[in-house]
Chain A
């Protein structure tokens, strides 16, 4: 295996592309370009309706395409893109959750002065310009092309079977998100700070990923996962390039899933971003990043399990424990959910560490279950408001159970699901990953996970306590009546949470039949 020969070969071959297999990605990218053109040429009034039609049309078309591809298991683009069962499941889930996220972003009734985004992102926060723009009812539609590019990046991210392509997908997914995070209409300084932090740390982690890829190329002579796997199994001795490369790639991916100690951006970004964007990115990015992490660990470095497993154990334990413990101290519900998402990432990692078919399918189930619960929870947060905007401080939720019993009950359902109480989707998810982990011998990891779940149950239960067992006071927020968009999202989140808790079999069949990654 002469590296140079390999590189030459890759250089001079035109990669055959299976266009039908990557059609969902192409649809989104194509529509995203159209969407940019709409921004440039369509009259101001017409942009929003056109954009909404484009976005939902593209998402639906891509989803239908993913469904029609469901039986497909193929590798295309010279082994750079693997359209296999897990990739298709994740693409489908990302598309549905993205559609729900888009509905939240399209919501215009909950904020009296418009949608969730700044009237004009370029106007200085607090300036006269900003007031003018707001007063004149300006709103931005640039979010839609950004959104579409990001979703396209995610679809590619879960299918990328090549470190370079994976890096490209990572950036296509992340760059629009950095912008979206900074565009909140309210508390704009907080939002911009969040955006900058997310961007800087994200750029760092991308650099780690890229550097790691370079080292792996040095080791294997290729960035293709299949090649790397062969190179890994061919080597007998320790190789510093390989190990350092793996570690750096993992840093890049663990950043995206918000694992400790790479989680620092999470609370700020989740809190500062417009809630609709938080809902969107906390669910879809989680799926995409876990998809990539799984593929890297299972396909490229599956032969290296004994080497990465200890590191992943430590990170998983840290993630679960730190996430749960810090979440206990939070008084802002968005920050609390951010730390909760850190802890949940730890639970999902338990399934990743199992390194088995059961581990893979249980992680897929968990991600989907978690996605719907999370998007529902953030949707509810966006409609609990007071005069200054969203009432995210937990003290403002006291007595909500009395003031708005239906909303509070739905929140309670989401919290119970996060806590992993039976008959909710969160329970089946936890059950699956824990069972897979014990089966692969990670019994102690599961015991730690169980202890962390207990701690996490505390802060989830606290939200319920605050809502139901405190009396409403003058600070208690009220629930505004949203448009059909947000209502659909909340209803979908709650329905899926319950249905997957009681009748999980269809989805279990789906993820079990998805099979393994192709290489």
Chain B
């Protein structure tokens, strides 16, 4: 194991970048963007360099581990490390940030806030996103979890749409409420650990092994789960998401829904299940119920939306239902599928919001589907990317989201036949609303006022190509991410003492990943 502080370095680079950007003169907006992009790309390169050294078959749970005592009085340390799940999510974050910066090149021009401020916030957010996925101290995780709110709050509140203030405050309050319940549980966990071991700790590895009383587990689980369910968001804690998404810049929405919300599902998998195994299985039916409702509710409401960004937000809510479902059916395929789905959803969300953003910029920032028709006649490249994004969202086979969704459904079938059967119907509605948007906006006669619309420029295509490429490549060849995810998921399964149901048909395991 290399002792080089990879993760700290990854976190520090964007932070330094944001400081540099902040101290640039206000007039040099272009330079600020270039500097921000450069730092984001350096972070991405470092991530790739780190990922190449990741050993999928290692016996240690976490790699690139660093540990430094921070507040010994409360057993808090600065401890980071990643397992396969953390690694792919860190990679997702560091991949999307440069893309968002490039795609949002002009987002902050002529806005209330300064241009450099927007890009500095993105870089700060990147640091926090890396931190939240890399933390192996529960307290440190919580700090990053809460601190993430601040840049997003400002990104929505200063650079958002007409109702930005309302959306920003709603987002902040929802998240704070969730976060504070998690804080209550966090303190409870600390006290419980102090009562069991004699000295309180926040070290993840020590907490996982604790034999916590089942009743205490149930209470503590609720605090964590509530925070994660607001973040993810699951039905019925989702109402902040459509407002936040609709009022955000496309880039903000991508980072918010594509990466930040994954912290919720990541947290369930990383913290709720291993630390509170008894409570997790106790609450699993309820969570599965919420997930199922979310799948259909989100999809159903998405059907009725005329605002593209709100539609994508509701569709995301439906997808989060799938992710949570995969986690709580306690099968290794389901959980691996959830992690793949997190990545896939990050990519498809990015594609959808960015393409829609490009489209909106060309028509007075209107997000209304009814304002568009026949766009593929004047902007075929844009329409093409929009189609790829849509198909990725409905999980067309051959795209990475299909891998995730299919594995989740398979895992659900293994555990509860009927749950899998119900969830499968969600796919149909997804197809309906996604294709409806495409059909209404991109095909048909050209709408008035769109005749002069320009097709995508070089910068915009550069931003979208990597997403599309990853979507397709990982769709056909998911092995690179599955290879790192599977050992991590197996460890979760072992920790919670769950095992896959014996397959009645021996060939039930797909792609050689079943146990």
Contact = CB atoms under 8 A, between A and B. Distances in A.
Interface of A: 416, 419-423, 428, 430-432, 434-435, 438-439, 443, 446-447, 450-451, 453-454, 457-458, 461-462, 465, 468-471, 504-505, 508-509, 512
Nearest to A451: B180
Contacts of B168: 465, 469
Interface in B170-185: 172-173, 176-177, 180-181, 183-184
A438 B73 CA distance: 17
A447 B187 contact: no
Given A422-B142, A465-B157, A469-B168, A435 B74 contact: yes
Contacts of B173: 454, 457-458, 461
Interface string B61-96: 000000000111110000000000000000000000
A435 B158 contact: no
Nearest to A447: B184
A512 B73 contact: yes
Contacts, number: 82
B148 to A, nearest CB: 11
20 contacts: A421-B147, A423-B147, A431-B74, A435-B187, A439-B191, A439-B195, A443-B188, A447-B184, A450-B180, A450-B183, A450-B184, A451-B180, A454-B173, A457-B176, A461-B169, A465-B168, A469-B157, A469-B164, A504-B71, A505-B72
B154 interface: yes
B143 A431 contact: no
Contacts of A505: 70-73
A471 B157 CA distance: 12
Nearest to A443: B188
A97 B507 CA distance: 73
B176 A468 contact: no
B112 interface: yes
A432 to B, nearest CB: 8
B179 to A, nearest CB: 9
- Judged by DSSP, the binding face of A is helix
Nearest to B164: A469
A462 B70 CA distance: 32
A63 to B, nearest CB: 25
- Judged by DSSP, the binding face of B is helix
Contact of A465 (B74, B169, B180, B195): B169
Contacts of B187: 431, 434-435, 438, 446
A171 to B, nearest CB: 37
B460 interface: no
A469 B184 contact: no
A428 B143 CA distance: 11
A468 B157 contact: yes
Contacts of A465: 157, 165, 168-169
B143 A423 contact: yes
B146 interface: yes
B194 interface: yes
Chain B CB within 10 Å, residue with most, of A432, A468, A470: A468
A423 B70 CA distance: 12
Contact of B191 (A438, A451, A454, A508): A438
Chain B CB within 10 Å, residue with most, of A422, A447, A509: A422
B190 interface: yes
A480 to B, nearest CB: 24
A454 B176 contact: yes
Nearest to A441: B191
A461 to B, nearest CB: 6
Contact of A422 (B70, B72, B143, B195): B143
Contacts of B180: 420, 450-451, 453-454, 457
